[in-house]
Amino acid sequence: MRVDDIKRIAVIGAGTMGAGIAQACAAAGFQVTMRDIEQRFVDGGFRRIKEPLQKRVEKGKMAQAEVDGILSKIRGVVPLKEAVIGAQVVIEAVFEKMDVKRELYAELEKLCPAEVVFASNTSSLSITEMANATKRPDRVVGMHFFNPAPVMKLVEVIRGSETSDDTMRLVKDLCTRLGKEAVEVRESPGFVVNRLLVPMMNEAFN
């Protein structure tokens, strides 16, 4: 698969990061399905997207038509099966617990065609361990955005033990399409930025 083949992206999780990722993808022209486990969480995701954008309109920094265009590309759903229909890439941004993520990936494996790529927004958990919950470990990759996702340019692209070169290339090309700077990092606790950030924060507070 090439980046030009990506038409729809499913974002699983409508919290702060999921909503931000959905917005970034829609702003880049992709059709997006944003999913969470309850409608109230999906609605909350839309609020997280709409409110900052409307403030930009009020300040004259953005046209209403541009906001409407972004929102028109995002569809909110609750059923996981519905969320992944037609998606070439699934970006997971759910709770940072390995058992939660592995359970989700096992479900995604049943629902998605074999060519679909799974990307995790995890900030520190093992991509390899998540990938082992699927039958496509070569198509599972880390895609760690930083908050706020629509604004922050850096994305860490993390290779699991079986992530293929083609998957890495696709996700890095996708980052470019999103206007982001992709940095390939090895799988290790905290990856690069968090491993640098945490000691700095500890030093600042001690």
Q: Where are the domains of the chain?
A: 3-205
Two tokens, residue 64? 């209403």
CA 143 to chain centre: 6
Catalytic residue among 120, 121, 126, 144, which? 144
Residue 72 falls in the annotated catalytic set: no
**Domain covering 3-205, topology:** Rossmann fold (3.40.50)
Secondary structure element (H or E) that encloses residue 9, with its range: strand 8-12
203 compared with 48, residue with greater pLDDT: 48
Residue 126 falls in the annotated catalytic set: no
Instruction: Report pLDDT digits (tens) over 75-125.
Output: 999 999 999 999 999 999 999 999 999 999 999 999 999 999 999 999 889
Residue 115 falls in the annotated catalytic set: no
Q: Where does the pLDDT of residue 188 fall: very low under 50, low under 70, confident under 90, or very high at 90 and above?
A: low
Instruction: Report pLDDT digits (tens) over 20-71.
Output: 999 999 999 999 999 999 999 999 999 999 999 999 999 999 999 999 999 9
pTM of the model: 0.89
SS3 at position 2: coil
Residue 206 falls in the annotated catalytic set: no
Catalytic residue among 107, 123, 124, 162, which? 123
